[in-house]
Amino acid sequence: MSETGTPEGRADVELRLPADSAYASVLRTATAGLAARLDFTIDDIEDLRIAVGEANAMVLEHADPGTDLVASFVLAPGELTVTVSVSSASPPVPDLDSFAWQVLTTLATSADIESADGRFAVTMTMTSTALGAGL
């Protein structure tokens, strides 16, 4: 992973916001817009919005004061990978039994947490169900 937590290289889109829950709607809206650009179904877009909201909440509680939240998006046909990360002087041990993690892993095709080197990041990939339907 790169310094921003982006899988294998440079993100197609990167969004930097203050690490404050007041900006969660901006992150969810940007995610929905990118998923729509990839022709995700309405249901997939809503699932992705919820999953990104959970990832946002997970990382924000461990963000260092005054830092940014960085969201990196890697786009592929029918697939969107989102990494949400913050600077954290003492990154937590990931709680894989938390409600937020359970929701996120239920909605996303795959998900991962990285907690090291002063960063806390959640990465998720969503594959559009439209691909499986042959649309």
- pLDDT (tens digit, 9 = 90+) per residue, 71-102? 999 999 999 999 999 999 987 887 888 888 99
120 within a domain of the structure (yes/no)? yes
8 within a domain of the structure (yes/no)? no
Tally of structural domains, the chain: 1
* Predicted confidence (pLDDT) at residue 30 exceeds the cutoff of 70: yes
pTM of this structure: 0.86
Q: Which residue has the higher pLDDT, 135 or 120?
A: 120
CATH code of the domain in which 64 resides: 3.30.565.10
Reduce the secondary structure of the chain to three states and give it as a string.
Answer: CCCCCCCCCCCCEEEEEECCHHHHHHHHHHHHHHHHHCCCCHHHHHHHHHHHHHHHHHHHCCCCCCCEEEEEEEEECCEEEEEEEEECCCCCCCCCCCHHHHHHHHHCCEEEEEEECCEEEEEEEEECHHHHCCC
4 within a domain of the structure (yes/no)? no
6 within a domain of the structure (yes/no)? no
Q: What residues make up the domain containing 75? A: 13-130
- pLDDT (tens digit, 9 = 90+) per residue, 104-124? 999 999 999 999 889 999 999
115 within a domain of the structure (yes/no)? yes
50 within a domain of the structure (yes/no)? yes
1 within a domain of the structure (yes/no)? no
